[in-house]
Amino acid sequence: MAPDGAQRSLYRAPWRIDLTVRPNAPHLLSANAIAVLVARALAAAGAPSPASIGVILSDDAELAGLNATHLGADGPTDVLSFPLLSPDAYPEHPGRSAGGARADAFPLPPGTRPHLGDIVLSVERAIAQAAGGQGGQTGDIRWNAADELRLLLVHGVLHVAGWDHADATEGAAMRSLEQDLLAPT
């Protein structure tokens, strides 16, 4: 990974969001706005709690390296998710049924939060997609780069929480949940 940037832990009960902002990542959203949105997405996905999740805001170069290493794909992508729990640790949702294993099946020492996983986002890619009319869920929206980053945050968290869009039913449900989470509160 690229050199560490500013790191901080933000608490939005019952979750801890470990936010890392790489030095070359433009600031589009406040740390508080990121934490609130991530916590909303975790709650909507029925994430085990209390727990922690890592969010890393970076650039195209880091995402290209991770994309090649973990997916065997060339070039940067906008967001990558690295879940640490099985999708069965989360409630079932349209397109996917729970298989029975639960996050609490593995006892942890008292006071220990399970780590749900990490998401890494290219702020550079979010800016380019928004400006180039390649943003939004359909990939053809020209909008504010902060809105694109918000979508990518929610999308990444839902992937950590066992959601996928490869199945049409699950993909439609995921898009609908993203829209609900991005709606003004």
Q: What residue ranges define each of the domains in the chain, with the CATH number in brackets?
A: 6-93+111-182 (3.40.390.30)
The residue-averaged pLDDT of 1-7 equals 64
Read off the amino acid at residue 77.
T
Confidence band, pLDDT 50/70/90 cuts, at residue 184: confident
The residue-averaged pLDDT of 160-166 equals 89
Kind plus residue range of the DSSP H or E element containing 54: strand 51-58
pLDDT score of 105 more than 70: no
pTM: 0.88
Rounded CA-CA distance 75/104 in Å is 37
Confidence band, pLDDT 50/70/90 cuts, at residue 171: confident
Confidence band, pLDDT 50/70/90 cuts, at residue 140: confident
Pairwise pLDDT comparison (5 vs 83), residue with the higher score: 83
Rounded CA-CA distance 155/164 in Å is 9
